Chains A and B, each alone.
Chain A
Amino acid sequence: MCCREGPRWGRGHCAPSPTLLLGLLLSAAPLGLLGEETRQVSLEVIPDWPGAPQNLLHIRAVGTNSTLHYVWSIMGPPAVLLVATNTPHSTLAVNWSCLLSPEPAGGLTVLPRGSVQFSSALVFTRLFEFDSTNTSEASAKPPGKPYPPYSLAEFSWNNITDSLDPATLSATFRGHPIHDPTGAFANGSLAFRVQAFPSSSRPAQAPRLLHSADTCQLEVALVGACPRGNRSLFGLEIVTLGQGPECPSVQEQHSIDDEYAPAVFQLDQLVWGSLPSGFMQWRPVAFSQRQRGRDSALPCQASPVCLTLEYPLPQSPIVRAFFGSQTNFCAFNLTFGAPTGPGYWDEHYLSWSMLLGVGTPPVDSLSPLILGIMAVALGAPGLMLLAGGVVLLLGHKQCSEYQPIN
């Protein structure tokens, strides 16, 4: 723990009284508080300590008796901190001088400390590129000869304030490598578009993940960067916190429903600990065109999640500031595309979306249209059979009454 003095940056109402807090804690199961229909969502850029070109994006989603904090940062590699509290009054406190110091632990806190029910973080550390020219096997690992990866910690990013859109509750971090000797990113960029939601809904664009007020969406888009090979596949390394000595695992949920993402029958999620806790959810599909149709859909493969003891990771100051240095990091890779089929080479475009949230991950249910059609399609012949049966039975009776005359 470092410096406790210095300017503290806080927001929200005054801290709740200890009795109220105790009452809340006793009256509800720890995470039963989460999972609200609607939330009051606010996006705010927390300005930096004068002189340092850094800033944080703080998404605060307030429900009736809980608050979710998402803190996005591009100090070091892009990272997000996810904190769920059981009070509508919790606040984020930033100690910039501490945060920017070499030992940032304690520079970022959510107050009151006792209200924190769940916290975790994701760090996007590296962008991989593979040459898949001579790889015919679609599921080969690695999917081709790897080029040196781009370290996202060595990217320079735009000013987040310019892309902040309070109407759609979204903001975009757009960046390119600081050192780009080949000029690959001369006309290109890697963008992280973050969006929060006040209520449950589904976006119009594929992959149309169902989101709720408890979630926040990230869309990663690689646009215009020159690939280093004719058939380059890209991948993303994602680092998260381990739960003790274990790493969370990626669950693949198979579903029968592909109405919202044609021909994608799978939903992948990474859940920290037992449900309900935090989760990261995505469809294993990326797109190689802005018009995200089925003809531009790329498969997205996730590697197993492993502890990252073997190699050094670029550190994210906000993660260390919140969690301290005594944490296990786990990493996994996502690879977009296959050696054959559509790919980044089509239009120099790649996009992939995921949800980050707390509580039970949203589950797709059959749409009313499908249920309606099925009801009519199975009901009509059934009714007809029933009616026909009754009519024929009655007809039989009449016939048998007349039989003596015959």
Chain B
Amino acid sequence: MEEDDEEARALLEGGPNEAGRGAPAVSAVPGALPALCDPSRLAHRLLVLLLMCFLGFGSYFCYDNPAALQTQVKRDMQVNTTRFMLLYAWYSWPNVVLCFFGGFLIDRVFGIRWGTIIFSCFVCIGQVIFALGGIFNAFWLMEFGRFVFGIGGESLAVAQNTYAVSWFKGKELNLVFGLQLSMARIGSTVNMNLMGWLYSKVEASLGSAGHTTLGVTLMIGGITCILSLICALVLAYLDQRAERILHKAQGKTGEVIKLTDVKDFSLPLWLIFIICVCYYVAVFPFIGLGKVFFIEKFGFSSQAASAINSVVYVISAPMSPIFGFLVDKTGKNIIWVFCAVVTTLAAHVMLAFTLWNPWIAMCLLGLAYSLLACALWPMVAFVVPEHQLGTAYGFMQSIQNLGLAIISIIAGMILDTRGYLFLEVFFIACVSLSLLSVVLLYVVNRARGGNLNYSARQREEIKLSHAE
């Protein structure tokens, strides 16, 4: 095992910040291949990039299928909001555990290629079961489908990142990550705006609405998962081919998870976890339940409600790279996180207590969400020694999923009994808790002389002084 690691390290071309992640060893290839087929050429890498982007498309498209078809699911399956939100909870449950083991499974058990194919299969099968649940009018089957889908979903994202590192390390890696994230958001957006229309078309051709229509619609949505599976297969072939031609190693996540590290986590790290959980539970479950909110409170049509509900993702697609650049250039992460959380709080307050055009609040939410992602996640790397980074990120994702699963159920229950205003107040309370943690983090960091809120220049100076 350790030898493997050594080997991987030897192949690295520098860039100490990503230590342990596999990288392609670029060497000149004898013989002339056309640019598109030559693994060492840009054109070929772009082809691979395209495949990578579509690899995740299916799972991101299908993840938010329930949100896009909220009214239809609840009507056709005759479930209340609490049970509807279980569809999201069942997605999150397996990931509470899998976040720790996804990297391990890819590195040590399946390998990146088989891992990707297997996780893609899980996504496909999960979506098919989900759709069959609709066709057979069995809600438990739909829940089971979401569970299987969840097993594949998050781990597939890990696999996707590993492929990206393996092919683009030292080249266009940040751009690739940005593009992959944008593609994920595009998947969600397309889903939000397409599924309602698709449902009405299926309804027109089948003659009536009902659980069969829902099942067929979801089954058609599952085509995107098949597409992703095909991408996984082609990628596996190309990756193997590149290995043969370029003698490059199979990509590895390089994540070392040691659960015992949890006891060594510092107070700032726990505060970051709290910020993360309290923030995301006020965003994702809200989007899951948002469509009906915009229809009922603001009188939007179904189409317009889908559009506004997806605007958070639409904004985050182009803004994530921009904010990433901004945060990189300025530093001061805590201040940025503070701004993001306050903006989110303002957006939720607007949605809850005013009848102002919700586009304002949702655009603010979209901006804040993108900014938070860029400023919050890198902070973990500042407060955790490098060998614990895998554990810290795994843990963060795990409790985020745990939070999402629990809050999804609670949100559904609140909505059924107390309505949207109370739900919004609940989300405001969550964001407020997150804000409280940000302030506390600032104080703790300040008191301990931590490095979380350094500007980019201070970070540079410290790096230099360490180098000396």
A, B assembled together: yes
Q: Which residues of A contact B (CB under 8 A)?
A: 254, 256-265, 293-295, 340-342, 366, 369-370, 373-374, 376-378, 380-381, 384-385, 388, 391-392
- B439 near A263 with CB under 8 A, answer no
With A374-B428, A378-B432, A380-B436 known to touch, is A262 a contact of B353 (CB < 8 Å)?
no
Using an 8 Å CB-CB cutoff, how does the interface string of B293-320 with A read, 1 for contact, 0 for none? 1001100000000000000000000000
Q: How far is the CB of B447 from chain A (nearest CB, A)?
A: 9
With A293-B80, A381-B435 known to touch, is A260 a contact of B446 (CB < 8 Å)?
no
With A374-B428, A380-B432 known to touch, is A265 a contact of B297 (CB < 8 Å)?
yes
Q: Which residues of B contact A374 (CB under 8 A)?
A: 425, 428
Interface of B is mostly: helix
Q: How far is the CB of A393 from chain B (nearest CB, A)?
A: 12
- B75 near A341 with CB under 8 A, answer yes
Interchain CA distance A374-B431 in the complex, whole Å: 12
The verdict on B88 contacting chain A, using a C-beta distance below 8 Å, is no
Which chain B residue shows the least CB distance to A258? B419
Choice from A294, A370, A380, A384 contacting B421 with Cβ under 8 Å: A370
The verdict on B416 contacting chain A, using a C-beta distance below 8 Å, is yes
Q: List 22 A-B contacts (CB under 8 A).
A: A254-B355, A256-B353, A258-B296, A258-B420, A259-B418, A262-B418, A262-B420, A263-B292, A263-B420, A265-B296, A293-B416, A294-B416, A295-B78, A295-B81, A377-B432, A380-B432, A381-B432, A381-B436, A384-B440, A388-B442, A392-B443, A392-B446
Known: A263-B415, A294-B80, A392-B443. 7 other contacts (CB 8 A): A258-B419, A263-B292, A263-B296, A263-B420, A369-B422, A381-B439, A392-B446
Q: Which residues of A contact B297 (CB under 8 A)?
A: 256, 258, 265
Interchain CA distance A384-B271 in the complex, whole Å: 15
- A391 near B421 with CB under 8 A, answer no
Interchain CA distance A265-B294 in the complex, whole Å: 11
Q: How far is the CB of B69 from chain A (nearest CB, A)?
A: 13
Q: How far is the CB of B466 from chain A (nearest CB, A)?
A: 23
- A262 near B425 with CB under 8 A, answer no
Instruction: Name the residue in B81, B355, B419 with the highest tally of chain A Cβ atoms < 10 Å from its Cβ.
Output: B419
Interchain CA distance A344-B420 in the complex, whole Å: 25
- B75 near A340 with CB under 8 A, answer yes
Instruction: Name the residue in A263, A378, A392 with the highest tally of chain B Cβ atoms < 10 Å from its Cβ.
Output: A263
Instruction: Name the residue in B71, B293, B432 with the highest tally of chain A Cβ atoms < 10 Å from its Cβ.
Output: B432
Q: Which residues of B contact A (CB under 8 A)?
A: 71, 74-75, 78-81, 209, 292-293, 296-297, 352-355, 415-422, 425-426, 428-429, 432, 435-436, 439-440, 442-443, 446
Q: Which residues of B contact A258 (CB under 8 A)?
A: 296-297, 419-421
Q: Which residues of A contact B439 (CB under 8 A)?
A: 381, 384-385, 388
Q: Which residues of A contact B426 (CB under 8 A)?
A: 373
Interchain CA distance A260-B418 in the complex, whole Å: 7
Q: How far is the CB of A399 from chain B (nearest CB, A)?
A: 12
- B429 near A377 with CB under 8 A, answer yes
- A256 near B354 with CB under 8 A, answer yes
- B352 near A256 with CB under 8 A, answer yes
- B421 near A256 with CB under 8 A, answer yes
Choice from B81, B355, B428, B436 contacting A294 with Cβ under 8 Å: B81
Choice from A260, A377, A391, A392 contacting B419 with Cβ under 8 Å: A260
Q: What are the 9 tightest A-B residue pairs by CB atom distance, in nearest-first order?
A: A262-B419, A258-B419, A377-B432, A381-B435, A377-B429, A295-B80, A265-B297, A263-B296, A384-B439
Which chain A residue shows the least CB distance to B437? A381
Interchain CA distance A254-B355 in the complex, whole Å: 9
Choice from B78, B79, B355, B425 contacting A370 with Cβ under 8 Å: B425
Q: How far is the CB of B210 from chain A (nearest CB, A)?
A: 10
- A294 near B429 with CB under 8 A, answer no
Q: How far is the CB of B342 from chain A (nearest CB, A)?
A: 9
- B416 near A262 with CB under 8 A, answer yes
Q: Which residues of A contact B81 (CB under 8 A)?
A: 294-295
Which chain A residue shows the least CB distance to B299? A254
Interchain CA distance A341-B71 in the complex, whole Å: 8
Q: Which residues of A contact B355 (CB under 8 A)?
A: 254, 256
Which chain A residue shows the least CB distance to B426? A373
Q: How far is the CB of B1 from chain A (nearest CB, A)?
A: 47
Which chain B residue shows the least CB distance to A388? B443
Interchain CA distance A275-B329 in the complex, whole Å: 61
Interchain CA distance A341-B292 in the complex, whole Å: 13
Interchain CA distance A384-B209 in the complex, whole Å: 53
- A373 near B436 with CB under 8 A, answer no
Interchain CA distance A378-B416 in the complex, whole Å: 25
- A262 near B75 with CB under 8 A, answer no
Which chain B residue shows the least CB distance to A257? B421
Q: How far is the CB of A150 from chain B (nearest CB, A)?
A: 28
Q: Which residues of A contact B354 (CB under 8 A)?
A: 256
Choice from B79, B418, B436, B443 contacting A295 with Cβ under 8 Å: B79
Q: Which residues of B contact A295 (CB under 8 A)?
A: 74, 78-81, 416
Q: Which residues of B contact A373 (CB under 8 A)?
A: 425-426, 428-429
Interchain CA distance A341-B77 in the complex, whole Å: 11
Q: How far is the CB of B161 from chain A (nearest CB, A)?
A: 34
Q: How far is the CB of A370 from chain B (nearest CB, A)?
A: 5
Q: Which residues of B contact A384 (CB under 8 A)?
A: 436, 439-440
Interchain CA distance A146-B420 in the complex, whole Å: 35
Q: How far is the CB of B57 from chain A (nearest CB, A)?
A: 31
Which chain A residue shows the least CB distance to B440? A384
Q: How far is the CB of B377 from chain A (nearest CB, A)?
A: 22
- B419 near A263 with CB under 8 A, answer yes
Q: Which residues of B contact A341 (CB under 8 A)?
A: 71, 75
Q: Which residues of A contact B296 (CB under 8 A)?
A: 258, 263-265
Which chain A residue shows the least CB distance to B428? A377
Q: Which residues of A contact B416 (CB under 8 A)?
A: 262, 293-295
Choice from B71, B74, B75, B422 contacting A259 with Cβ under 8 Å: B422
Q: Which residues of B contact A342 (CB under 8 A)?
A: 75
Interchain CA distance A392-B446 in the complex, whole Å: 9
Interchain CA distance A377-B424 in the complex, whole Å: 12
Q: Which residues of B contact A265 (CB under 8 A)?
A: 296-297, 420
Q: How far is the CB of A312 from chain B (nearest CB, A)?
A: 37
Which chain B residue shows the least CB distance to A374? B425
Q: Which residues of B contact A377 (CB under 8 A)?
A: 425, 428-429, 432
Q: How far is the CB of A77 from chain B (nearest CB, A)?
A: 33
